[in-house]
Amino acid sequence: MDGRLVQRRWLGWVFGLLACDTADKGVDSDANLASESSTAGSSESGGETSSGCVRTPTVLPDVDAVGVTGLRASDLLAEAEGTFTGQIAWLNEPPLTYTGTTDPSALTLTLQYDGGEIRSIDAELGECPSLGGCACEDRLEVDVTWRLTSADGVLDETWVAPLLHEPQSWTMAKPIGIATEFQPDDTQGSLSAASFTGEGELQSLTARATFRNGAAQGSIDGLVLWNEWIGAGAAATFAALKDGAQDTACHELTGQDACAFAGCVPVGGHQQILDCQCGPDEVFCFAVAPPADAPLAWYTHQAGDTWDQYDQVVALPSFGDVTPAPWTACVDAPEIPGCECATEAPACG
């Protein structure tokens, strides 16, 4: 399946009726991470409250002060600050159909710190009004300037927003990320509300990106009103690598399109499941391709999301004597659970 179709994930138009409270629609504060502090109400404890979560910010004195999540602002900036180059492609699927070309266009993402405020946010969940649960995680925020530009002129946008470190995030695939909500007619590029058609009414767009090990992956998401229902999903997806990180960052990207957008090589593989069995076909990104017609072999690397880090064991075409970092051939890592299968070739269909 096309990676863009997988990443689009329109959420079924089941976020809730407009008559319900916003918190019950799933489009609460984290739908616009950049503006949460200005829209949240005040709690009796002096913090900010949203969807049953009381967030108490503490302004940190400098980039080397440790926040509540255990990281410093300097740690976040080491991951996200700089220039990333790759590609973006718009999607033309209902309910929000882009009317222009869906061919990929060169993309540049830049992020810089200009001395903005640094906030350590302590989060405490009180009474949650949503049956689906409430997002309430500690996080570190660093106000930065970030910019998205595309070679076709559709995007030429600059925003000031908080770069976040939010372990166990409900809204980010990786712990460090950024998001900015904007109106399609309030842009510097050629993008506008007229760039889209569909049965629903476009309410807003949100630019999102996550960062890790020199890779940036993200989307432009749309929030669409349709009859009495509201839904959200990707109108465009992008991937980019930090300058100089080509050899080390490809493995952080997910999906065939993301590999191609960043100039990486998509390689088909099978994640190991129980008893040395092969899971379904997946795409993994590499800086180099394995030899043609190479037999399968077991490899391992550290994988994970905002919730967990773990040793992933995958059947991949053999790379021969030189395994691309940070992957390791299982024959060289017998101590990793699952690598005991390396004594036999993977039997993947």
Return the domain boundaries, the chain. Answer: 3-21+69-114+142-259, 265-343
Asked if the model's pLDDT at residue 133 lies above 90, the reply is no
One-letter amino acid of 106: A
Per-residue pLDDT at 119 exceeds 90: yes
C-alpha–C-alpha distance, residues 200 and 198, integer Å: 6
Q: pLDDT tens across 59-93, in order?
A: 999 999 999 999 999 999 999 999 999 999 999 88
In 63-170, the DSSP E strands lie at 82-90, 97-98, 105-112, 118-125, 139-150, 156-165
3-state secondary structure at position 280: strand
69 with 165: CB under 8 angstroms? yes
Paired with 297 in beta bridges are 316
pLDDT at site 284:
95
The residue-averaged pLDDT of 38-44 equals: 32
Give residue 142's pLDDT.
98
pLDDT band at 50 (very low <50, low <70, confident <90, very high): low
213-250 confidence digits (pLDDT tens):
999 999 999 999 987 788 888 999 999 999 888 888 99
Is it the case that residue 17 has pLDDT exceeding 50?
no
Outline where DSSP puts E strands in the chain: 41-42, 48-50, 53-59, 82-90, 97-98, 105-112, 118-125, 139-150, 156-165, 176-182, 196-197, 201-212, 215-226, 229-242, 265-273, 277-286, 296-304, 309-317, 328-329
Query: What distance in Å separates the CA atoms of residue 278 and residue 281, rounded to the nearest whole number?
Result: 9
**Which H/E stretch holds residue 5?**
helix 3-8
Q: How many CA atoms lie within 13 A of 152 on its CB side?
A: 14
